[in-house]
Structure 1
Amino acid sequence: MPSEEELGRNIARILAMAWMTCKRLIFLGFQRNSIFCKCLSLVCIALIFRAVFLYPFPGVGVLRENSFYWVHSSSVSNTQYGVRKDKFLEVPQIVWGLNNQKISFARACLTSRMLNRTLLMPSLSASLFYKELELLQPISFDKIFQFERFNSLCNGFVRLSRYSDLSNRTVPFELQKGSGRKWTVERDLDQLKQCRENPIDEYESIRIVGKNPFLWHDHWPVKDYAKIFECLVLIDEIADEATKVVSKIREMGSNLRSKTETLQQNISSSKEHTPYVAVHMRIEKDWMIHCKKLEQRSNISQICSSKEEIMDRVAHIRGLTKPIILFLAVADSLLEDASVLSGWPDGFFPFEKKKLGVWDIYNKYPYLIKSAIDYEVCLRADIFVGNSFSTFSSLIALERTQKLIAMGGSRSCGLRWSSYAYNILGAFGGPQRWMTDMSDSSLNAISYGSNKISC
């Protein structure tokens, strides 16, 4: 097979010959608008299109600007819309909180996409005690998210596979991820590019070892991560549990409003239409230690928020019709202050899991599933208020931004699907309006937090 250089020269010769033929015919007296010249022009155009678009360049089937989407021609018969089904990528067990795990998973997916490999379904962690390895409780991806649904929604973008799909059990190529200050974004990218070439690319499976994907360098824009998150659909069991919690919240809100005589005539009797505000209160002991250190390192004061500051700013959100029910999403096991329900202004009725009467729903599940239910309840809220330096809050704001964009409000910050960051002071003494910048070239702001938010 000729080299890429030879093929390039051949294409150049085809184009030059076609152009020179047209010029010579015109010089010999053929009119530009004659039938013969028109036919010849069509032949020239056909040759040009064939040379540019159909010439079989070795090693490259698809090229997308500003991306690393790469397709190897030798595996076309084993691909599905450019994702090879005979080459795999394996990553370490994914750890930490729910949304750090989601980012880890998305980063692993995008790494596999760059290598044009199918990602072997990784193991998640049901427990939060990530530092004590012996306490980790591994849980399969398909115990949280729908496996087939993921592949259906992400068809042609990335692909997930089970270990049973490996055709043989040959030793995989082990790729050690670098670490430390000397391991730059550029070095990490060069390492990945080397894995796209032989002899590494010949291995059926590449196994990445050394660190959690959340800590890998980032090479992809926000919109690519958002695409992965769109494909993550909770299994029916967890989604149904979240629906029960949401129904209970709206029921409590409906009961509260029906008792308010001055508002009774203007309120729908259907509890399905009773609005609620979800507040992700990051005041747990582990968070307060982390955010104070982060404020010192980054020289930013808008990270930590006390319970009093959160209550005051939520109370100043304009447009709320009171009485309004609040769902407080907190990590109960790490909460030192049990008074989160007290001190709220008149017209605000806060509920957490136990007061709401849904503790039995949460209590039968490990940490990861509890967090997934909380996430879904916050996602479905009429208004969401969180902390812009929290991964949990940031991914909810991202998904709600996507919903706004889908509704045609790409730069709208209206009350519908609105989000706020209580750690940043906004208008009228309330929290800052919040939309994710979907054009951002990196997920860094979402992974590690930011006080620069779109609204």
Structure 2
Amino acid sequence: IRRHKFLEVTQLVWGLHNQKIAFVRACLTARMLNRTLLMPSLSASLFYKEINSLQPISFDKVFKFERFNTLYKGFVQLARYSDIKNRTGLKQNIINGPIDMHKVIRMVGKNPFLWHGDWPVKYYERFFECLMLVEDISKEADKVVSKIRQIRKKLRSEPGMGSSLRSAPYVAVYIRVQINWIIHCKKLEQRSGVSQICSSKQEIIERVGKIINLEAPIVVYLAIADNLINDSSLLSGWNKGLVLYEKKNLRVDGIFKKHPYPIQSAIDNE
């Protein structure tokens, strides 16, 4: 990958998962052009249409910049804006001559990396594994995991639960519910004339219950985006042996309130 030629992309938007997908596509585009990708800005706020209202956050405030470059050395490369002196827009490149002669080219358009792409799925999996959270965010995730482990330990020691529980495995199941995705699914169902796109609460419960090699009681952590959805019924109706917890009754909601939405999602995802 050429280190003296750069690709600049627009701010990555929407939820954290969509931003990660867009980041992978930006990296693969830079590789296709044999250019180093200038570190993109992520979005700390969650807006969909009011692009001017988006609050940017630097990529290296969320993910480990140097670690990513080390893991992907030779395949893709990230650079900071301080690594270059002159910036040239894509529009100028087209007017002034062949794109490849310019040091920096810029992808323009409305969220160019959020639409369907043809990149193999294996690339997304590998990239996601290399996106490691910075220590400050990782430590916040550790606090949540610690709370879940405390609940697990308490369940083991409760009288009447049986001595076999001491050797039984315990798992926290990650489920994220966002009202924006529910709305998106419903609209897609209406346009497509089908009803299998969205997973209902009952379908989610059944799928969790079918996870093999789980011995009850199981701690189920519902990673609900509290600022996007307010549905207390999500905590009821689960199968016997599934012990439900979410941020508030786990008493970790204070950890999440300190951070913008995508960082909350990063903690949950971790």
Tell me the TM-score normalised to structure 1 length: 0.55
In structure 1, runs of 5+ residues without a counterpart are 1-82, 177-194, 377-455
Paired amino acid for 2:227: S
The residue correspondences of 1:130-169 to structure 2 (distance < 5 A) are 130-166=48-84, 168-169=85-86
CA distance in 2, matches of 1:219, 1:287: 23
Equivalent residues of 1:122, 1:140 under 8 A apart: yes
Give 1:365's aligned residue: 259
CA contact (8 A) 2:88 2:105 kept: no
| Mapped partners of 1:262, 1:359: distance in 2 | 29
Q: Which residue of 2 aligns with 1:258?
A: 157
The equivalent residue for 1:278 is: 173
CA positional deviation for 1:316: 4.3
| Aligned partner of residue 322 in structure 1, secondary structure | coil
**2:110 alignment partner in structure 1:** 211
When structure 1 is superposed on structure 2, of 300-309 and 324-333 the one drifting more is 300-309
Which residue is equivalent to 1:226? 125
Aligned-residue sequence identity (percent) comes to 58
Kindly provide the amino acid, as one letter, of the partner of residue 244 in structure 1. Answer: K
CA shift, 1:175, in A, is: 8.5
2:221 aligned with 1:327: yes
- One of 245, 248, 251 as aligned partner of 2:144: 245
- Aligned pair 1:106/2:24, yes or no? yes
CA contact (8 A) 1:94 1:213 kept: no
With CA pairs under 8 Å and 6+ residues apart, which has the higher RCO, 1 or 2?
A: 2
Counterpart in the other structure of 2:205: 311
1:297-318 deviation digits (Å, cap 9, x = unpaired): 3344322233334334433444
Asked if structure 2 preserves the Cα contact closer than 8 Å seen for 1:126 and 1:367, the reply is yes
Q: Distance in 1 between matches of 2:238 and 2:155?
A: 16
Residue 326 of structure 1 aligns with an amino acid whose one-letter code is V
Q: CA deviation at 1:241?
A: 1.1
2:188 to 284, 287, 294: 294
Q: Any residues of structure 2 matched to 1:396-411 within 5 Å, and which?
A: none
Partners of 1:89 and 1:152 lie apart in 2 by 19
Cα contact 2:218–2:242 (8 A) shared by 1 = yes
Mapped partners of 1:316, 1:231: distance in 2: 30
Q: Which amino acid aligns with 1:169?
A: N
Q: Which runs of 5+ in 2 are unaligned?
A: none
What is the number of residues matched between the two proteins?
Answer: 268
What is the alpha-carbon root mean square deviation over aligned residues? 2.3
Q: Describe the superposition over 1:269-321 as per-residue Cα deviations: whole angstroms up to 9, x where unpaired.
A: xxxx9522314153x43333221222233344322233334334433444321
Q: Which amino acid is 1:321 matched to?
A: E
For residues 228 and 245 of structure 1, the distance between their equivalents in structure 2, rounded to whole angstroms, comes to: 25
Deviation digits for residues 103-140 of structure 1 (CA, Å, limit 9, x no counterpart): 11110000000010000011100011132223211000
- The higher radius of gyration belongs to 1
Give the whole-Å Cα distance in 2 for the aligned partners of 1:292 and 1:259. Answer: 43
What are the Cα deviations for residues 349-405 of structure 1, in whole angstroms up to 9, with x where unaligned?
1000111011111110001100000111xxxxxxxxxxxxxxxxxxxxxxxxxxxxx
